[in-house]
Amino acid sequence: MNSKWSRFSQATAAVLLLSGGIAIASYHLAGSPQDKPDYLSEQEADQIRDAQTPAERIKLYMTFAEDRLQKFQYEVNRPVHEAQHNDILNNLMNAYVGCIDDAADQIDVAQQKQQDVREAVKLMKTKDTAFLALLEKLDQASGADFEAYRYTLEDAIEGTKEAINDANDAQKALLPAPVRRKQQ
């Protein structure tokens, strides 16, 4: 009788181990949930992964941030609101902040890898300044929905100011490469 139970236990253990192994393998093949930020679409995440340099990624993140702000403005100005209008507004603003933060993080990546991102930082500073003006304008408005997104808007303003400061610091730190003179 002992051998029956022992064979049953061994068979059960083998099946459990096999199914656990399959579950782990399928999890890794499918990709972990951390593969892409939740504010990027699959196509956008692919573009970020395919970008070869931090400068390219900065430009992409700035494009995505601009897209989120345009969508936010559209949703705020829509005469007819969907049932989850407040959630849409907050999600768009949070997505904007995520793009801005990730663009600023790419400056650090570039500095660690000693890559030239001066043009991307210049673009980032220009766009962030324009974004900040727009966000501050939205902060002055007091529409019916304002209370629903006020705190995320404040976070976006703060995040944009930090990104501008990061870009300013990077411009100071990223001096142009030395120019070699011709030998005489």
For the segment 66-100, what is each residue's pLDDT rounded down to a tens digit? 999 999 999 988 888 888 989 999 999 999 999 99
Give pLDDT tens digits for 7-59: 555 555 444 444 444 444 333 333 333 456 788 999 999 999 999 999 999 99
Contacts with 74 (C-beta within 8 Å, 6 or more apart), sequence order: none
Which amino acid makes up residue 124?
A: M
Can you tell me the distance from the alpha carbon of 33 to that of 147, in angstroms, rounded to the nearest whole number? Answer: 32
Can you tell me the distance from the alpha carbon of 107 to that of 63, in angstroms, rounded to the nearest whole number? Answer: 16
Q: Are 89 and 148 in contact (CB under 8 A)?
A: yes
Give the Cβ contact number of residue 74 at 10 Å: 10
Domain borders along the chain are 2-33, 42-173
Alpha helices in 114-174 (DSSP H): 118-140, 146-173
